[in-house]
Structure 1
């Protein structure tokens, strides 16, 4: 299992000035639809449909994550469009949808997620070690560090989107 070490920030505004100043260079943008199959306090199973907005290429993934906070274990692999469609239709949940911008800033890869169903923009930075993640000094424009705030996790936002449907499962 691979370790995912990341910090998340509540992006207060789109970083237009940083893009114009060439401090932030956009590399790609994807449309993401994700649905959770199982969730508890420490683990999650989800499927995603990812569409590259430049090329139109569509891929599908199945992901298992374990843990909370800055460090989590993650296993992700590709699945077919047919398997994705069967899983999503079998559960009948509403996918969480967002656009993800992948960019380079100060030699680092960052991801900016702009959600559709709620007013929320989150910036994520991944790190090779916990020490590097803890030592990282984010610029002010990243916004508040929400790495340990569960209310901003994708699975929490997705559960709220499901309403009573999730409560019945």
Structure 2
């Protein structure tokens, strides 16, 4: 399992001006449909359909995450379209849908997720260590740090879509 160390921020508005001023360089844009298969307070199992908006290329992943907060264990691997479709159809759940912009900012990579079913934009920054994550000073435009606030987690939002 690999360790995912990230901080999340409640992005108040999409940083169009920073992109126009070339302070933020967009690397890629993806359309993501995400469905959870199992979850509890400490772990999750999900599948995703990911469309690269520039090329139209579609990929599918299966992910297991263990833990909460700043760092979590994660296993993610590619699956076929057929397996993805079988899993999604078997459960009949409503997928969580969002657009993800991956961008370079000050020599690092950030991801901005803008959700469809709720009014929410989240900015994520991944780190190599918890020390780096804890010492990171976010600029004001990132918004409020929500790294440890579970009400903003993808799995909580998805669960609300299912009426659970």
> Aligning the two structures, in what range does the TM-score lie when normalised by the shorter sequence?
over 0.9
Structure 2 stretches lacking a partner, 5+ long: none
User: Cα offset for 1:63?
Assistant: 0.1
Give the structure-2-normalised TM-score. Answer: 0.99
Other-structure match for 1:130: 130
Moved over 3 A (4+): none
The DSSP-based 3-state class of the residue aligned with 2:104 is: strand
Output aligned runs, 1:1-169, within 5 Å. 1-163=1-163, 167=164
User: Cα offset for 1:120?
Assistant: 0.3
Structure 1 stretches lacking a partner, 5+ long: none
Distance 1:140 1:22 in 2: 18
The DSSP-based 3-state class of the residue aligned with 2:50 is: strand
Distance 2:139 2:43 in 1: 31
Distance 1:101 1:54 in 2: 11
Farther-moved stretch of structure 1 (17-26 vs 132-141): 17-26
Distance 1:134 1:62 in 2: 29
Give the structure-1-normalised TM-score. Answer: 0.96
User: Cα offset for 1:17?
Assistant: 1.2
What count of residue pairs does the alignment treat as equivalent? 164
